Amino acid sequence: MNEREVLKRIILEKSYRQGTFKLTSGRISDFYIDCKQTTLSAEGAYLCGRLLFEIIKDFQEVRAVGGMTLGADPLVTAVSIVSYLENVPIPAFIIRKEPKGHGTGSWIEGKSNIPAGSSVALVEDVVTTGGTLVKAIERTRQEGFEVGPVLTVVDRQEGGVERLKEEGFELRSIFTRSELVS
């Protein structure tokens, strides 16, 4: 099995559930992908970091990788660690759901590790409508950074690609729902 196949097996074992679930978008779904069960496991985190880094490294202008807390937290850490092990260190950053209520009032943690005006990659664990990534893009731009590649572990194929395209971004995924459950 290659790394992608192993990650697929882990996601299906640890993260994929059938039933009735309310999603972040407010939609009701007959399946749920709790990707944190995968991204918080040692092997799952490493494989997500490795596969996302393989995509990001083709964008040589990228100077950091970040995403919206909480789903992206283990992903940005994993990508950053893999990048260091590959001798192409990319710092991680986390986007808050609310701006910091004291001090600088920043949306972003880890900002001091990123040169001002840099191009950054954004990641998310699971994308449904793309709403979380659109917020992440807006907040990243507000903090003075350019947004480069936008990636996810799983695209649920429920409008996220189209929404991000409207914003001028191509969503790249490790898996689409159809690839995951085929």
Tell me the pLDDT tens digit for each residue of 126-175. 999 999 999 999 999 999 999 999 999 999 999 999 999 999 999 999 99
CATH T-level assignment (fold) for domain 51-176: Rossmann fold (3.40.50)
Rounded Cα distance, 181 and 110, in Å: 36
Dihedral of alpha carbons 161, 23, 70, 88, sign:
negative
> How do residues 40-61 score in pLDDT, each as one tens digit?
999 999 999 999 999 999 999 9
Q: Which residues have CB under 8 Å from 56's CB, separation 6+?
A: 62, 65, 79, 83, 90, 121, 149, 151
pLDDT, tens digit, 9 for 90 and up, residues 9-41: 999 999 999 999 998 888 899 999 999 999 999
- Residue 105 pLDDT level (bands cut at 50, 70, 90): confident
Phi then psi dihedrals of residue 11, to 5 deg = -60, -45
